[in-house]
Amino acid sequence: MPTAIVHRVPRRPHAWWGLLLLSQLLVAALWWGLGWAVGLPLMLASHAVFWWGVLKADSGLFSPVLVRLPVADKRLWLTIDDGPSEDTAAILDLLDAHGAKATFFVVGARAQARPEALRAIVRRGHGVGNHSHSHPQAWFWALGPARMRAQVAQAQAVLTEIGGVAPRWFRAVVGMANPFVSAPLREHGLARVAWSARGFDAIAAEPAAVVARVERDLAPGAIVLMHEGARHGRNVEALALLLQRLDALGYRTVLPEHLAPDLQPTPPVGAT
């Protein structure tokens, strides 16, 4: 297996400013020299690139993002977003029954409301990731630097205090990470994680349809996105069906921190 780094903390969180400035200077020069017929489309195209970086969950334009584990066999990373919730206890029992491990991307405020659920996740050998403090799904993508820093920092402090272990992974709300997320990720030694297989179970209620969508994108090293606590109330059913299907297909779950030594996380920022 080739050497690979899975835990990539942003090294230059403000580099995008230079890219933005250079692109707009180029557009202005071409507009001045060639007129609006050239300059206007180029301006729109340059802005579209930055919007793509925000709206596409696996875009690495503003910070490194992990989309797949570098393994060649039937191992995958199961991730569960939006907890803790009233589903957490049943999900933990399901995972134990299948000998599976998952990383729970947890919302800080929800962990404060259900601290014992977070402690149970850690106690039973699962991972905990940072998924913002209040999960502002309608406008996370539009947060300015101060509010973005607060969302990451508050969740990190709460999850560390309650769970006893500082998260090393971060998932943007709805996957949309704007340029201002990189600085707080670097500050807290967090690496951003997206996904490569999802069933849309946060909104889709039918477990069979959810699992069918996930299965279409299964491959060695897949990062599977699931949810808990959705309003339709069927996340546990969907996960149960998915775990049965993974067993039937011969897939095993793995946490990144349990991979081979050459795939271990990079040292925290500032470490010697």
Are 76 and 69 spatial neighbours (Cβ–Cβ below 8 Å)?
Answer: yes
pLDDT for the residue 143? 94
pLDDT for the residue 4? 46
Instruction: Return all residues near 94 (Cβ < 8 A) that are at least 6 apart.
Output: 100, 236, 239, 240, 243
Of the residues 7, 98, 126, 227, which is catalytic? Answer: 227
Summarised one tens digit per residue, pLDDT across range 123-169 is 999 999 999 999 998 899 899 999 999 999 999 999 999 999 999 99
Query: 10 exposed, middle or buried (CB, 10 Å; 0-12, 13-18, 19+)?
Result: buried
- Please report which helix (H) or strand (E) contains residue 169, including its range: strand 169-170
Are 144 and 180 spatial neighbours (Cβ–Cβ below 8 Å)?
Answer: yes
pTM: 0.85
Could you confirm whether 227 is annotated as catalytic?
yes
CA distances from 68 to 72, 177, 195, 213 (A): 11, 18, 7, 17
Of the residues 81, 82, 87, 201, which is catalytic? Answer: 81
pLDDT at 50 over 80: no
Neighbours of 80 (CB within 10 A): 29
Class of the CATH-defined domain 65-257: alpha beta
Longest dimension (CA), the chain: 68
Summarised one tens digit per residue, pLDDT across range 230-267 is 999 999 999 999 999 999 999 999 999 998 554 444 44
Could you confirm whether 14 is annotated as catalytic?
no
